[in-house]
């Protein structure tokens, strides 16, 4: 992918509507997988919990949202990657978990083959979660949105990523702060008082369109009154009082 290709990808992302955050992320990941010959990609929203334990090697960080480009058989959807995150949540520290902790709060990249010892690739953890599904190497790009919230993209390949491929991932993902912010917002991980539930995210998806609460309820197979309750909770979580105020959060891309 040359410079014009990068600009074209950025332009394509800006053409997605505010409610199409998942589709836009999938398009971005698919395009970069094609450019780097990666077989899969993920996006994850990471947040730092307040008052972490002093002995916590992960400094209170947890992954609050994840989206995979392709499901990993035999697991449906994002379940393969969520299984890795369950180990993270239990604080059963694997050396790969410490890589994102280097330089927290700064834009950075990290990769398995460049930064982990050869012995790690012989461990049961690597074989179970990576080697067994064809991942030889993985590269991650981390973009901080504030002191307690980061956006991470991961790419997985059956061979070692080249320096040029890693540089391309850095270039593409560093130039779209507004997009990282949109993904984080769509899960309620930055401005909301608490993360959005799965149902609230589906309601939000429609709330960012012209759909009325009655139409939202119909499309999601719920009563209009129930849709209204979800809308009210979403407004409360984002600290707004109307759809116009909610939309302004998405439209203020430079914020």
Domain at 3-177: CATH architecture = 2-Layer Sandwich (3.30)
Question: Terminus-to-terminus CA distance in the chain, angstroms?
Answer: 29
> What is the rounded distance in angstroms from the CA atom of residue 139 to the CA atom of residue 130?
13
Instruction: Give the start-to-end residue ranges of the domains of the chain.
Output: 3-177, 198-251
Fold held by 198-251: Arc Repressor Mutant, subunit A (1.10.10)
Tell me if domain 3-177 and domain 198-251 are identical in fold. no
For 186-237, the pLDDT digits (tens) are 877 766 556 778 788 788 878 777 788 888 888 888 888 888 888 888 888 7
For 87-123, the pLDDT digits (tens) are 888 888 899 999 999 998 899 999 999 999 999 999 9
In three-state secondary structure terms, 162 is coil
For 146-199, the pLDDT digits (tens) are 888 899 999 999 999 999 999 999 999 999 998 998 888 887 776 655 677 878
In three-state secondary structure terms, 54 is coil
**Residue keyed to tokens 């409610």:** 19
């Amino acid at each position: 992918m040359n410079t014009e290709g990068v600009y074209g990808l950025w332009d394509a992302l800006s053409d997605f509507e505010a409610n199409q955050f998942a589709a836009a992320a999938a398009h971005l990941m698919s395009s970069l997988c094609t450019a780097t010959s990666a077989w899969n990609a993920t996006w994850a929203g990471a947040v730092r919990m307040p008052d972490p334990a002093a002995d916590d090697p992960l400094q209170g960080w947890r992954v609050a949202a994840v989206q995979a480009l392709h499901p990993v058989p035999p697991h449906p959807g994002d379940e393969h990657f969520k299984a890795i995150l369950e180990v993270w949540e239990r604080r059963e520290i694997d050396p790969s978990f410490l890589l994102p902790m280097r330089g927290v709060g700064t834009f950075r990249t990290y990769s398995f083959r460049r930064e982990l010892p050869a012995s790690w690739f012989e461990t049961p953890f690597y074989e179970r979660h990576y080697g067994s599904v064809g991942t030889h190497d993985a590269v991650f790009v981390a973009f901080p949105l504030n002191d307690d919230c980061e956006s991470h993209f991961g790419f997985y390949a059956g061979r070692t990523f080249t320096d040029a491929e890693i540089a391309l991932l850095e270039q593409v993902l560093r130039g779209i702060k507004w997009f990282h912010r949109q993904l984080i917002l769509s899960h309620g991980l930055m401005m909301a008082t608490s993360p959005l539930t799965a149902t609230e995210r589906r309601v939000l998806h429609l709330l960012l369109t012209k759909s009325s609460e009655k139409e939202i309820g119909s499309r999601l197979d719920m009563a209009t009154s129930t849709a209204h309750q979800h809308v009210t909770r979403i407004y409360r979580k984002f600290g707004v009082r109307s759809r116009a105020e909610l939309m302004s959060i998405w439209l203020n891309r430079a914020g």
